[in-house]
A and B are shown apart, each in its own frame.
Chain A
Amino acid sequence: MTPLRSTGIYLGRQVIALLEDVGALARLQGQVFRFTPQLFRSSRLFMEQMLEIGNRSLPLVFVVSIFSGAVTAVQASYQFQAWVPLVLLGSTVFRSVVIELGPVLTALVVGGRVSAAIAAEIGTMKVTEQVDALETLSIHPVRYLVLPRFWAGVIMLPVITVIADILAIMGAYVVALLTIPNMTSHLFLEGIRLQFYAHDVFSGLLKAVFFGAIMTMTGAVFGLRAQGGAEGVGQATMKAVVASCLLILVLDYFLATVLFQVIFE
């Protein structure tokens, strides 16, 4: 076989695999929406999943947020030099954190953990026939396993993002006061007030909702399709993490386009 031909076949297979993944994800999402009216039946699982997502993410989010906020302050003041009035520092920090840094960094940090954990849990259940066991007990695995995780992610991500935003702005505030000559508490807060737009905050939280959906769904879709023992679970976990991160970044771009070039333009 010529190298060109075998490369072509390889790429073709990859494309088919990708389309299969996308198809499976779409089908699973459809099932989740169809079962959503029954979420109340899993209220305990739903609460447990929300707590778990919170517990898994908060320590890391804490560190990541404070430092990313601090860096934003340092970076912005460096870029401002003497050209931009210092009163804009607060608003620059606030808006970049709320619109972009808060939701995306939180989603990447939390998403890696959450999608991996879900893929590993559900994947283990799949390869040890626990998913089949649910079926034989007339319990739909999507309703029982995926539904509570999905809605827990969709609700918790905005909550965690709000916490991350606050921590990041606090980090920026402290660093700005400590390191920038002439910066005062009043100046920083005045900057935020000057360019505060509710739709910035709304856009960031809307992103977080979508990111919460992505990380739980990628975990679920690869977990449910895991095959062949512990090795299969490992592969499912890795695929879920990669897919979660990629989809978060890609979707961030599309959401930004829709939100800021179409809706709030």
Chain B
Amino acid sequence: MSDTLISIRGLEKAFGEQAVLRGIDMDVHRGETLAILGGSGTGKSVLVKHLVGLLDADAGSITMDEGEVVGLGGKHLYAHRRRFGYLFQGAALFDSLDVGENVGLGLKENTSKSDDEINAIVAEKLALVGLEGIEDKRVAELSGGMKKRVGLARAIAMEPEVIIYDEPTTGLDPVTSAVIGELILSMKKSLAITSLVVTHDIPLVKRVADRAVLLHEGKLIFQGTVAELFASEHPRVRAFVTGTVPVSNGEAQ
């Protein structure tokens, strides 16, 4: 048996009339890289936002090391969030701060470290993502790929146990995407971290993931290893993996 870190059971979420998650059951194992797959707008971001309490579940439970996450509030929620690093789809860097301040903000606000200590950590994290010495740059000066990397440096600044990558390569050119893929691998190696990678980038899945789940119409229609993913006979899974229109099987037109 693998060592389960996070366990999701019967997770449901609707926005008004629109049911986005309709009963999700899945586990995240300690130290693995799990790909969360699905088409645009299927609720991948909604799913991972529940893990850090950015959204409240309508039903179901999420446990991490046996502690319930759904319904956490106040300082318990903030303590829980400190176990995560979150790389947002659009990087979500703070426009009003420079690169160094972006990476160091969590440390500045949550720890009693001195400015010098924080600057040293910021320099180290920026080096880890291959961006030494850009502390003083404004966010507006950065390219898309650089923003993602700064976002990653910010996400790992407080040494999280789990990193959530929300579409880390979407909108990037293939070379930059490959660089991000290498970074995800090196994060895993150097920090011994559990990684959740939300994506529909199949080469990235091949490159970095150990296991994968596939979200479709509010449910997981596949969970298993990456080898099983590529061997799956399920028409929708095959369609997703090969990037083709689903074969007609009664439900498709």
Q: Does B109 lie at the interface of the complex (its beta carbon under 8 Å from any beta carbon of A)?
A: yes
Contact B89 A137 (CB under 8 A): no
Interface residues on A, range: 10 to 19
Q: How far apart sit A125 and B79, CA to CA, in the bound complex (Å)?
A: 23
Contacts of A140 in B (CB 8 A): 78
Contact B54 A138 (CB under 8 A): no
Contacts of B82 in A (CB 8 A): 138
A102 to chain B, nearest CB (A): 32
Contact A137 B105 (CB under 8 A): yes
Q: Which of B81, B86, B92, B155 contacts A128 (CB 8 A)?
A: B92
Q: Does B88 lie at the interface of the complex (its beta carbon under 8 Å from any beta carbon of A)?
A: yes
Q: How far apart sit A259 and B90, CA to CA, in the bound complex (Å)?
A: 51
New A-B contacts (5) at CB < 8 Å, excluding given A129-B90, A133-B92, A135-B81 = A133-B93, A136-B52, A137-B81, A137-B154, A138-B109
| A41-B109, A130-B94, A132-B54 known; A138+B88 contact, CB < 8 A | no
A25 to chain B, nearest CB (A): 21
Could you show 8 A-B contacts with beta carbons less than 8 Å apart? A130-B92, A133-B94, A136-B155, A137-B81, A137-B110, A138-B82, A138-B109, A140-B78
Give me the interface of B with A, judged by CB distance under 8 Å.
Answer: 49, 52-54, 78-79, 81-82, 84-86, 88-90, 92-96, 105-106, 109-110, 154-155, 158
Those of A124-178 within 8 Å (CB) of chain B: 124-125, 128-130, 132-133, 135-140, 144
Contacts of A139 in B (CB 8 A): 105-106, 109-110
| A41-B109, A144-B109 known; A136+B86 contact, CB < 8 A | yes
Which residue on A lies nearest to B109, using beta carbons?
Answer: A139
Number of inter-chain CB pairs below 8 Å: 57
Contacts of B54 in A (CB 8 A): 132, 135-136
Which residue on A lies nearest to B102, using beta carbons?
Answer: A133
Contacts of B88 in A (CB 8 A): 129, 132-133
Contact A129 B81 (CB under 8 A): no
Contacts of A41 in B (CB 8 A): 109
Contact A136 B81 (CB under 8 A): yes
Q: How far apart sit A144 and B78, CA to CA, in the bound complex (Å)?
A: 14
Contacts of B78 in A (CB 8 A): 138, 140
Interface centre among A133, A140, A144 (most CB of B within 10 A): A133
9 shortest A-B CB distances, which residue pairs? A137-B106, A129-B92, A136-B86, A133-B92, A138-B78, A129-B88, A139-B109, A138-B81, A130-B92
Q: Which of B92, B93, B109 contacts A132 (CB 8 A)?
A: B92
Q: How far apart sit A111 and B158, CA to CA, in the bound complex (Å)?
A: 39
Interface centre among B78, B82, B90, B92 (most CB of A within 10 A): B92
Contacts of A132 in B (CB 8 A): 49, 54, 86, 88, 92
Contacts of B89 in A (CB 8 A): 129
B106 to chain A, nearest CB (A): 4
Contacts of A144 in B (CB 8 A): 109
Q: How far apart sit A251 and B120, CA to CA, in the bound complex (Å)?
A: 50
Contact A138 B110 (CB under 8 A): yes
Which residue on A lies nearest to B151, using beta carbons?
Answer: A133
Contacts of B84 in A (CB 8 A): 136
Q: Which of A129, A130, A135 contacts B95 (CB 8 A)?
A: A130
Q: How far apart sit A144 and B106, CA to CA, in the bound complex (Å)?
A: 12
Contacts of A137 in B (CB 8 A): 81, 105-106, 109-110, 154, 158
Which residue on A lies nearest to B75, using beta carbons?
Answer: A138
B32 to chain A, nearest CB (A): 21
Contacts of B85 in A (CB 8 A): 136
B101 to chain A, nearest CB (A): 11
B49 to chain A, nearest CB (A): 7
Q: How far apart sit A130 and B88, CA to CA, in the bound complex (Å)?
A: 9
